[in-house]
Amino acid sequence: MKSFGGKAGGYSAGIAQQYAPYLEAEWGLKNHWYPIFFSKEVAEGDVKGSTIAGYDIAVVRPKGGDGVYAVSDRCVHRGVKLSARPMCLTKDTVSCWYHGYTYKLADGNLETIIASPDDPVIGKTGIRTFPVEEVNGIIFVFVGDEDYAPIPPLAADVPIPITDDNKMPGVEDDVPYILGKNVYVRGIHRVGNANWRLAVENGFDPGHLLIHWDNPLVLAQDRQLPLGMKPTAPEAIEVIDREGGPKGIMNMYGTEHYRPVVENSRVNIKARGNNPMPLRTSMYVPGCLMVEHWPIKGVCQYEWYIPIDDKRHAYWEIIVAPCESEEQRQEWDFMFENFFEPLGLRDFNNNDLFAREQLQDYYENHGGWDREVLCDMDGVIIGWRKVAARFNRGIATSPKVRSAQSGVDGDDEY
């Protein structure tokens, strides 16, 4: 038996230093906008909790109020989660269900303690708040350092709008913009047992198409899905770096720089399908995928891979479609419930979730980041790592590190 050594022919060894910050980002990128809940998940009077990059965040929509707020989901008193038992008694406050510490939603200030209304601690402490935006049925929060300023616009952290200037070659139809007007936006989210980076890297990987080659959705559409996409020139990959806008990387599918591979004779495998149904993928910091013309032409699928902690991510899958009327919205609901979700977001994308979760053990326990042996198709993944290393606004650390470092933890006190 020969011995080639661990890195023979692989990409990573030589160039890992070019994306070193990415390798440290196991807890995610901070000072970015992330979706946290769909609007309909937070009813009036509700306090819903979620954890992003180790930050415990409560989203509150007071009854009769004028929108949603995001605050630390840790009561400053003894650290229980406000969301464990929602207690929102007024339009402008949220109370802790345990001892009644009551915080002003606007600034997190401790306003009163229910049974100790004259307590000396009132007005001298509080919980931190998070910037929040609610657009097209999605609640976004800006997660990171409390003193980060200025807060960039939400649009800087979502995929670019597709216009006539940057359309996929050869496809006439428009694709809708997730923050745009007159769009239908609906999706799901669930927990994936893999680090967020492994999830991201699967999303737009030109080589991962093989896991879908026998998928019912593809076969039912008689879609020409190749076994993989082979880059033939550096121009296969385009870095997106807009002034003040999104940073990302795009697979230039539809150009001559990517060659669809539909068979491999060494192992007798052939892609099926007669319908050419082009799609294009691109990925944006802090980890949002856009798949244009998927699962059908004129529709766009967005995905987020949001760090919960260093071992799990929230997997968001959203369908965005053009929509000008209530009638059309009902038609999209019908399609979503009977086609997009069951066959696309579930059956098709379950394969992606499976694949990412299969990567976790190797990268967590077997030194995968150092030992991987990449190939030509992974060029865009290396590209993404560099983009993420360069354009992130901060690397999140674990809550343990944060609380040990300062005594003042970014996630629950100010």
CB of 400 to its own copies, least distance (A): 6
Which runs of consecutive H residues, i.e. helices, occur in 317-377? 326-335, 349-365, 368-371
Q: Spell out, one character per residue from 125 to 154, where the chain touches its own copies: x when CB under 8 A holds, - when not.
A: xx-xx----------------xx-------
Contact 396, 28 (CB under 8 A): yes
Among 30, 32, 48, 74, binds its own copies (CB under 8 A): 74
Contact between 266 and its own copies per CB under 8 A: yes
Given the rule CB under 8 A, which of 98-106, 163-171, 277-285, 291-299 is the region that contacts its own copies?
98-106
- The sign one gets for the Cα dihedral 267, 268, 273, 278 is positive
Cα→Cα distances 199→64, 191, 304, Å? 39, 11, 9
Among 23, 362, 386, 393, binds its own copies (CB under 8 A): 362
Given the rule CB under 8 A, which of 15-23, 73-81, 291-299, 324-332 is the region that contacts its own copies?
73-81
Among 119, 173, 333, 337, binds its own copies (CB under 8 A): 119
Contact between 261 and its own copies per CB under 8 A: yes
Tell which positions 5-24 bind its own copies, by CB under 8 A.
5-10
Among 137, 245, 273, 368, binds its own copies (CB under 8 A): 368
Given the rule CB under 8 A, which of 246-254, 340-348, 383-391, 397-405 is the region that contacts its own copies?
397-405
The residue among 152 and 379 lying less far from its own copies, judged by its C-beta, is: 379
Secondary structure (3-state) at 379? helix
CB of 120 to its own copies, least distance (A): 6
The pair of three-digit structure tokens given for residue 359, joined into one six-digit string:
């990567």
The pair of three-digit structure tokens given for residue 138, joined into one six-digit string:
């999605």
Rounded CA-CA distance 294/209 in Å is: 14
The residue among 78 and 242 lying less far from its own copies, judged by its C-beta, is: 78
Vertex 409 angle, CA 408 and 413, to 5°? 75
Vertex 311 angle, CA 306 and 314, to 5°? 25
Contact 414, 123 (CB under 8 A): no
Secondary structure (3-state) at 61? strand
State the maximum Cα–Cα separation within the chain, in Å, rounded to a whole number: 80
Given the rule CB under 8 A, which of 248-256, 272-280, 297-305, 395-403 is the region that contacts its own copies?
395-403
The residue among 79 and 180 lying less far from its own copies, judged by its C-beta, is: 79
